[in-house]
Amino acid sequence: MNHPDLVTELLGVARRAAAAGAAVLASRNGDALEVSNKGDSGDWVTAFDVAAENAVRDAITAARPQDTITGEEHGTTRPAEPSGYRWSIDPLDGTTNFIRNIVYYATSVAVADPDGVWLAGVVHAPALNRVYYAARGQGAWLEERGQVTQLEGPVAGRAGQILATGFSYDPAVRTEQAALLGELMDGFADVRRLGSAALDLCLVADGTHDAYGERGLNEHDFSAGALIAEEAGCWVRRPRLDSPLDGGPADADRLAAWTCAGTLELSGKFPL
């Protein structure tokens, strides 16, 4: 069992690392984005993605040099004598939003113990001036303009429930997702697609969304946000990863789905 003091320490490292990445994103001021495509149409990467990941990695390594780090841009790196703890980072979740000056993007940082249990997670959204964070067994919190609020998930049974989701860059997968959207929305009044899985999960945790489900997420997309949603009292079902040791993509035939306490009957719509 992880000692509460260790969990608190890891959360502190996660907060500093996420702040370092978010500071890189916030420094944008007419700078050249150096946009390139990672393969799938629409899967963009910028100079800020890379610089932010470097900043996050530097902050983690300075505090925890023996920990393994998995990042979206640089993959998995292991020290010579790994501690068994592993960090999962997305330096810029919502790159397309960032390119287009849409404010829904964030730096996401999470850490798991040697058994794969997620212990701490932070989603830092500089354009929103919001920092969402959680530590295992210590609740989920939102810091916004100096005010800290504990998160308790959406209100169960309220009218006009909103589902959040996302769509794949792969046209074939996207076509399947679109075909299933009507069934997925049964019982919901409306749907939102904001372009950042990490923030979508946090918006379930703070009660903005009532549920979130998406197929084919990468670990770095959901690692921090899923823990934050859990610690806010939400029911979370994570996708099975192709490579649990290295993070990376989820099984393409599976759907990641999140609903919250009080709406568990919706779980049948998200079969894994």
Confidence band for 37, pLDDT divided at 50, 70 and 90: low
Strand partners for 171: none
153-187 pLDDT, tens digit per residue, is: 998 888 899 999 988 778 888 888 888 888 888 88
Is residue 188 a contact partner of residue 181, using CB atoms and an 8 Å limit? no
The distance between the two most distant Cα atoms of the chain, rounded to a whole number of Å, is 54
For residue 23, what is the DSSP state?
A: H
Closest CA to 107 of 80, 120, 126, 134: 126
- Give the separation between CA 184 and CA 161, rounded to whole angstroms: 13
pLDDT band at 269 (very low <50, low <70, confident <90, very high): very low
Report how far apart, in Å, the C-alpha atoms of 24 and of each of 64, 111, 145 are: 21, 21, 19
pLDDT digits (tens, 9 = 90+) for 182-194: 888 888 999 999 9
Could you say which architecture CATH assigns to the domain 162-269? Answer: 3-Layer(aba) Sandwich (3.40)
Residue 206 is which amino acid? D
Instruction: Say yes or no to pLDDT of 105 above 60.
Output: yes
User: The whole model's pTM is what?
Assistant: 0.87
CA distance 117 to 146: 30
Chain-centre distance for alpha carbon 268: 23
Nearest to 166 by CA among 228, 104, 121, 118: 104
Would you state the pLDDT for residue 266? 33
Proportion of the chain above pLDDT 70, given as a percent: 82
Q: What dotted CATH number matches 4-150?
A: 3.30.540.10
- Specify the higher pLDDT residue, 44 or 66: 66
Q: Residue ranges per domain, the chain?
A: 4-150, 162-269
